[in-house]
Chain A
């Protein structure tokens, strides 16, 4: 496999660069977890005495010279040890693991939903190009995809959850609820996840719609589609079997690549709906200047995105033998 020789080193370099960046950003910036910098400059209010700060810094290894800290950090990270959260009294791995069970389902289900819906509408749009359906859906979707996702979220939160009371205002499950059956629990989870998923889906439907529409339009003009139609096959069969199979190529790669951007969107949307995933954890970590936790979450995001991009590369190489990687 050529790809493994050529691309894997590139990904490793990228990962290395991200870890290095991740190490240096908090250290070149003002403020640290022990001395909270207030909003006015130059006024530092300390909650610890100097001796306590020195002791804590020694405990966390922050008193050592920078190169030594860096090597320690690199070694620990590569061993899968992301350290302890300074604020939450738990390992970063546990904290991230506890929240990822909320973020991942939301991100993946809205990604799949937006891909599915986007492709479906895109195919129908492309089949009758410049028809009424095409023009209306094209205009609507291009307008909607321009509106920032958190505004769509605020809109849903305010009207559907706040004014009409159809959906909960925050959380992932009813607080202190006891469930009689697993089914009831599942229903409650879906009920709470509905609006975040809907918002993220709407935010990403546009890119899949445009991609599948363009891809479909170019495929539909090919000779084998004319042949399929001439054979008298059903419209459905021509569209979803003959054409879609060949138009899927760019869509599948985009699916893998989009997981990264959808994580970024999830950070915002979770905060809109107060959903207890990684995004809300990240916001908390930032208010408490919890170095290790911020680094851990960020590293997790970056690592997932890299892996997804790599999978996209591999899949693309498999699906389209013409591509020289």
Chain B
């Protein structure tokens, strides 16, 4: 029986483990990947010397090293497929189950799906995917690469590819005109100016790349693989099309647990409801990092530390006074890290067409190959949400369990019903959160 089980060895999970161990808690950390780091510091132990990835990435090595030294039990390459928080029982594969008094979900984010025409063609990928190729294999897309979408990652990746001698032939930025003014009005830029300056540095380094701004009507075209990217008013040949419209919390596990969720209007996604320490609506579960709302890795580190302090307090290892005292500086760090969010959220708000494709032919469910038009028809028949649409259309029954289509399906239904997106509850995932074999299950 561990005091604290942490799901995910990204910034939040690693920071929580280090803090919890320092407070004397026994800690189990589980991660699907073979090494700690999460997606942001993916493979940093192997790749920190690659200058192309930049200094911020290499800085993650320190966090990984302190995690390795923390004395937490680390089970890499391990999948959580069921969690019973009442019993504190984690079903894990490979290897057996584990027990913990408290569970911290630090499962991070996933890229927001970008359902455009042709996005299932080979050669179309998420920008995060290209970055993972860079981090885990030092590899870059060959041939003509086009980046399309928006967000901080777009410019970071553009610069990384440029440094690696694989600069994109074209950047199609989807941010509409006039957003910068809105972003400055949203505030936070002064307090968050350190991050803002970092972003400006990237933009400076990206100078010289061909950029088309305020792009709409994106689509991928080609026979058997992507060959062209087209948009309203233009088109270009390409071999790899990388899409990105920001990231959203990975809510599969928290939703499956039935944790209370709230609609995040700024980021147009659901996120688990947590208190100042990350404690969720179940009294033995906390959520920290991007999984509780997108804030970036610095905020995730702080959130992880706060969740660890709270765990120690709840388990009687830290007094209320001790908690308050230790939390104060972490809280300041957390607020600092989040300062630029209003600016970024306003600048990079996803357009309506990204959230609910206008074209009925666009495939929204990649697994079961279901189009936007079919979802709209199911909504007109009376499906009130993604759970009913799932029974009618199989959207969410495929291998990804709705990770790629759930939000889009809900959005399309909201559109047809004429209701606000937050009135359509999200897909309710079930275990196994990730596949396991019948034999593995039978061997329990």
Q: Do A and B bind each other?
A: no
